[in-house]
Amino acid sequence: MKYKILNCPIFAVIALSFIFCVASCTKTEYRTVEDPAYIRVFNNLTYTLTLDNKEEAQPFFCMFIDPEFDASGKPIGGLAIGDFLDKRNIYAAPNAAHAGLSTSKYNPEYPGKELVPTAPILNGFDLTNWAQVSAGKRRFLFMARPISTVPFAQLPDEQQRKVFLDTIIDLSSREVYTLHILQKDFKTKENGLYVRQETFHKQSFSDTLTYVNFYNLSAKGFLQADLSQKLPVPGTTRSLRYGIRDTMNIFITHIQPSVNAAGATVQQRIPNFSYQYAGQILRNIGAPKVTPYYGFPIFLQDKNKIYSNTWQYIQLFAPSIDPRTAGSYLEPPSVPGGLTEPAVKDGTFGYILMDHAQYSPSYYLNTFFPGLTVNVHSGTANPRTFGVVNSIEIVNGNAFLTTVQRKYPQPIY
């Protein structure tokens, strides 16, 4: 009889009701930020310590916002803490790609994996990769720490006292900021914090276009330094590793894959969208201003009005070089097999290739980057192509892509 009672439906309902009742009595605290600003922090120090630069600090940090100190002056808390701040990834995806998917404590950005209040959707843009922090004058303290999985507070005392950067930033309410830890001078190794107040969520962008803008955040003197000091490190961009001039013209060519009569995939330039001038990229880390965005069509396939497989060949040329007539450079979509172009080492030429299909995050010298659109399951379509807002930032021979996504209809299964 006891066995029958324990397995009867009425007992199960009573038991479940008890569980739900107990669960409903559990207090859940939701953190809110009054009068917030929105921040995203990247560590752009891409160097690797060697015998030549062993005196530099490890490019690995614990960040404190409005830090609190113990009696000895050691940081022990604050308004917010971001530990294990590692070098940034080549691609900062538009979704919260790090949360819940990585088992490593290392964080390629802030907030990244940190469980903190994040920004809402503003003007249709998903800003969950930005953290909320109280607006006003905030003190940012970056402590250099060993590269390990030991939390900052558990490190030996002497390893909790290495100040790398200490600065105050005035954050305006409801504004969006991108922060970069940067090397300002390649020779003196001076470092600083670059703070850019974004405007993409305030601009009128077309839903049928995708957008990209460009920044050169390289240190003073990087291009002029001896080539031996600019040896490749994992993640280095193939054609930019020696640096580019302070002023470069940008040309974008759009490539359409197709299948020829032999069944092979061929890459062809779209005639009316080849060598399009997309503005200039200037080295300027002293005055962080948003640069103009270049917009272009998504190029949906003729037989499928929701998906695109085109990609972009971006070329950077020193002023006065015309890529349509300069014979020293391979024409898009040809991909050089190595650093054979004579102008690469003197900074007068560089290229970046943006294609989801050919991108490999594990490749030692990055040739292809993710594309400048996103392909996601939306509605009944899987995939569907959407335009996004991108920023390409060049830092001491590396290129980084950050993508911000508009809100789109949820998938239907």
pLDDT tens string 204-263: 999 889 999 999 999 999 999 988 788 666 666 678 888 999 999 999 999 999 888 898
pLDDT, average across residues 16-26: 44
pLDDT, average across residues 376-383: 91
pLDDT at 197: 98
| Nearest of 41, 279, 43, 312 to residue 179 by alpha carbon | 41
Q: What angle do CA 343, 334, 385 make, to 5 degrees?
A: 115
CA distance to 8, 32, 124, 133, per residue, from 29 (Å): 37, 9, 28, 18
pLDDT band at 364 (very low <50, low <70, confident <90, very high): low
Q: What is the DSSP code (8-state) at residue 270?
A: -
> Any idea which of 27-31, 60-64, 160-164 has the lowest mean pLDDT?
27-31
Is 338 a residue whose pLDDT tops 60? no
**Percent of the chain beyond pLDDT 90?**
63
pLDDT at 345: 79
pLDDT at 361: 76
| Nearest of 404, 374, 375 to residue 119 by alpha carbon | 404
Is 282 a residue whose pLDDT tops 90? yes
Is 388 a residue whose pLDDT tops 60? yes
Highest mean pLDDT among 14-23, 316-325, 360-369: 316-325
Query: Torsion angle of alpha carbons 354, 360, 365, 366, nearest 10°?
Result: 20
pLDDT at 31: 63
pLDDT band at 4 (very low <50, low <70, confident <90, very high): very low
Give the chain's mean pLDDT: 86
pLDDT tens string 196-206: 999 999 999 99
For the chain, the C-alpha Rg in angstroms (whole number) is 25
> Any idea which of 72-76, 113-117, 135-139 has the lowest mean pLDDT?
113-117
pLDDT at 47: 74
Q: Cα 333 from chain centroid?
A: 25
